[in-house]
A = this chain, B = another copy of it.
Amino acid sequence: MEQVKLTIDAERLQARLLALGEVGALAGGGVSRLALTEADKQGRDLVLSWMQQLGLTISIDAIGNVVATLAGREDLPTVMMGSHIDTVSTAGLYDGNLGVLAGLEVIETLIESGIQPRHPVAVAFFTNEEGSRFAPDMMGSGVYTQALDLATSLATIGIDGKSVEQELNAIGYKGDAPVCDVAKQVAAYFELHVEQGPVLDEENIDIGVVEGVQGISWSEYTVHGTSNHAGTTPMNYRQDAGLVAAKVMTFVNQLALSMAPQQHATVGALELQPNLVNVIPNFARFTVDLRNCSEQKLLEAEAELAAYLEQLAEQHGVSIEKRVLARFQPVDFNPRLIDSIENFAKDSGLSSKRMFSGAGHDAQMFAPLCPTTMIFVPSKDGISHNINEYTSPEQVANGANVLLQAVLNIAEY
């Protein structure tokens, strides 16, 4: 029972969160460490140095995933904790970073306590989880779990025209670790993460027990219309690519509202050409992000959008091309691990709530191959992907302690 009393060092974990938050720090607060940039390299170097200080066995694979392992007493599959340290361009300090640094803290706590579990215990950070620079997101964990093809992923071109492989080499993180057979080599996967939504904060709950992840559909649409004079072209003669984009933006918003609360829809990126005040746009390119925890509902939303696009193309005399950027089905986590998280929270006197994850996470790539679950802690006002993202030191420690107990339980199982 000793391991139940075991607790992590909250101050040390907090210090590491703040130290990593200084890498790629933005003037107004928050950080920007887009995947495989110089800032990402510096963040990786810092976390890697902490892993090395603990004497862990480090492996880096061909897509730049870094795994640090504490050997177990027996030659058994590894109990893995992980997340990511890349960020969006206007990020806070917790998204991804918390799961990695809490995993490192769990391992350091075991080492300090002289505990060597039966199973090896590892902490990993996976490349390009955010997908802000390179689509699709969850690329590193996708390759790690062989859901994504390595060669295709390496050839992916980012928003700045550079390829993943080019940038991996540029920052020195294209490693040679062998491909992992997750089903055989990973006993369980745990990921601690901030909720990135308002529920836990509003209901004042300590721990989110994550039952699964909603499905994600990312697509990019390119509209080809006709550029023409803004002052002379009769309104009904126009092939206005910008107007078509705007109609899609309002349509997907209405669609999500009509399917509330499960359906989310966002147009985050849009470009017009020639992008001049007095010229009707002949070109519009924009993204659509659709999410739902029901695959059936997600397919319905995709179908409604497709039908509307067909109607718009006809009505406005424009052509519309679609490119799929990412598509993930909803994922269910392991019932036994979900129960264990709930129980360990209860044993620690923490309130908890079962919930689905609205965001995509590396954990969903592991779920089909090994027992997997996630632990959420509150995000103040539900804000994330924003420099004001915040989770208190106490909330961080609560999550890390539940993670410690859940991992130790499985590692000794």
Contacts and interface: CB of A to CB of B under 8 A. Distances in A.
A63 to B, nearest CB: 20
Contact of A231 (B227, B281, B291): B291
A385 B228 contact: yes
27 contacts: A89-B276, A90-B279, A131-B277, A135-B277, A196-B231, A197-B232, A198-B233, A216-B231, A220-B277, A229-B385, A230-B264, A230-B268, A230-B289, A230-B291, A230-B385, A231-B291, A231-B358, A232-B359, A236-B260, A237-B382, A242-B270, A243-B250, A243-B267, A246-B247, A246-B253, A270-B270, A277-B289
A270 B234 CA distance: 21
Contacts of A88: 274, 276, 278-279
A245 B246 contact: yes
A218 B230 CA distance: 11
A234 B198 contact: yes
A266 B230 CA distance: 6
Interface string A230-272: 1111111100101101110110010011001101111111111
Interface of A: 88-90, 130-132, 135, 137, 195-198, 214, 216, 218, 220, 226-237, 240, 242-243, 245-247, 249-250, 253, 256-257, 260-261, 263-272, 274-282, 287, 289, 291, 325, 357-360, 382-386
Contacts of A242: 249, 267-268, 270
A267 B291 CA distance: 29
A250 B274 CA distance: 19
The SS class assigned to the A binding surface is loop
A267 B246 contact: yes
This chain's copy number in the assembly: 2
Nearest to A277: B287
Contact of A228 (B250, B274, B357, B382): B382
Going nearest first, the 3 A-B pairs with the smallest beta carbon separation are A232-B358, A246-B249, A197-B232
Contact of A233 (B137, B360, B382): B382
B269 A270 contact: no
Contacts of A277: 131-132, 135, 218, 220, 268-269, 287, 289, 325
A220 B289 CA distance: 27
B265 A383 contact: no
A385 B227 contact: yes
A62 B250 CA distance: 47
A214 B268 CA distance: 36
A257 to B, nearest CB: 5
Given A197-B234, A235-B253, A266-B278, 14 more contacts: A130-B278, A196-B232, A220-B277, A226-B383, A229-B358, A229-B385, A234-B261, A245-B246, A268-B272, A268-B275, A268-B277, A269-B272, A271-B275, A277-B325
A245 B218 CA distance: 21
